[in-house]
Amino acid sequence: MKNQICLLGLRGSISVSGPQFAAFGGATSTMAVYGKPETNQEITTDAIIIDAGTGIFNLRKHLPSTVKKIHILLSHLHLDHIQGLLMLPEMFNGELEIVIYCGEHEEGSFEEHFRRLMQPPIWPCTPDIFSKKVSFLPLPKGDFLLGDVAVSTMQGAHPNGIDIFKLTFQNGHSLVHVGDYEVGVKPDVDEKLREFAKNADIILMDGMYAPEEYESRKGFGHSSWDMTANFAASAEAKKLKIIHHAPDHTDAILLRGQRDIMNKYPNVSFAREGEVLEI
């Protein structure tokens, strides 16, 4: 069984469309982790989804037919990370068992907040029409297992709070997902994350801004791509994929940024929608 990580959506804030975004994609934050059988044997498996932006609509293009249950880990409650749940067909049709986990970043559970969102006049239907195979659970405290994947969490530096996830696979390789994060605003959290992500095989981490944009956006909860690359190097990560691309960053801007970064950090690149990584 090969562990695959499929990047389904990589934009922050809002989704975008148009030919100028074709290379890196326009859907908001979602990634899927699943085991791909190496033979034609039909083995029932689970998948782990991190965040549920509009990228979750790409799920069925990539998800193996062997997957019958998905565990959705929500890093936080901001709309670009949960909006895909509003109309994901599998939330209604019962074709998959879906378990949604979220930490308590504000008073009340994610299910309570989500029910308030899915109410007229903001939304025409409520979660009461979801499949009975959908459930909401608090994010477990401490380390836990999802199938044969060990999951560790820590709190990050982002307005209203965010959970950072580390997935460790049976082969010993690790993936660290840092959805939204601002390097430098909480040095103690930076130090904890540096240790948490040390020697990770792959880090997926927010690098939303170009270096020249950061000063005017300081405090918004996101890093520039050079800040993210410097941080990943200090954590001795083997590979960094920069995510959470700004909605106004076209392919041309991102390609130029990637060229600049790779001149200094050859193991760093900008993630692309639909890209599949093996670990």
Q: How far apart are CA 54 and CA 59, in angstroms?
A: 10
User: Rounded to an integer, what distance in angstroms lies between the CA atom of residue 231 and that of residue 175?
Assistant: 16
Averaged pLDDT, 78-90: 94
Q: What is the pLDDT, as a whole number, of residue 48?
A: 97
For 16-44, write each residue's pLDDT tens digit.
999 999 999 999 999 999 987 666 666 77
Q: Would you place residue 91 in the very low, low, confident or very high pLDDT band (cuts 50, 70, 90)?
A: very high
Within 8 A by CB and 6+ apart from 19, the residues are none
Dist. CA 127–CA 114, nearest whole Å: 8
Specify the pLDDT at position 83.
Answer: 95
Residue 3, pLDDT above cutoff 80: yes
When comparing pLDDT for 125 and 235, which is higher? 235
pLDDT value at residue 226: 96
* Predicted local distance difference test score (pLDDT) of residue 51: 98
pLDDT at 79: 92
Q: What's the mean pLDDT in 65-78?
A: 93
The whole-chain average pLDDT of the chain stands at 93
**Count of CB atoms situated within 10 Å of the CB of 173:** 15
Tokens of 53: 């932006």
| Least trusted range by pLDDT, from 33-42, 72-81, 127-136, 239-248 | 33-42
What is the band of 192 on the pLDDT scale with cuts at 50, 70, 90? Answer: very high
* Mean pLDDT of the 174-188 span: 96
- pLDDT value at residue 110: 87
Asked whether 248 and 15 are in contact (CB, 8 A), the reply is no
Whether the per-residue pLDDT at 223 is higher than 70: the answer is yes
For residue range 103-140, list pLDDT tens digits in order.
Answer: 887 777 888 888 988 999 989 989 999 999 999 999 99
Q: pTM for the whole thing?
A: 0.95
**DSSP structure string for 44-78:** -EEEEEE--SGGGGGHHHHS-TTEEEEEEEES---
Res 109: pLDDT: 84
pLDDT of the residue at 60: 87
For the ranges 45-54, 62-71, 224-233, the lowest mean pLDDT is seen at 62-71
What is the model's pLDDT at position 41? 63
Q: How much of the chain, in percent, has pLDDT values that exceed 70? A: 97
Is 200's pLDDT higher than 70? yes
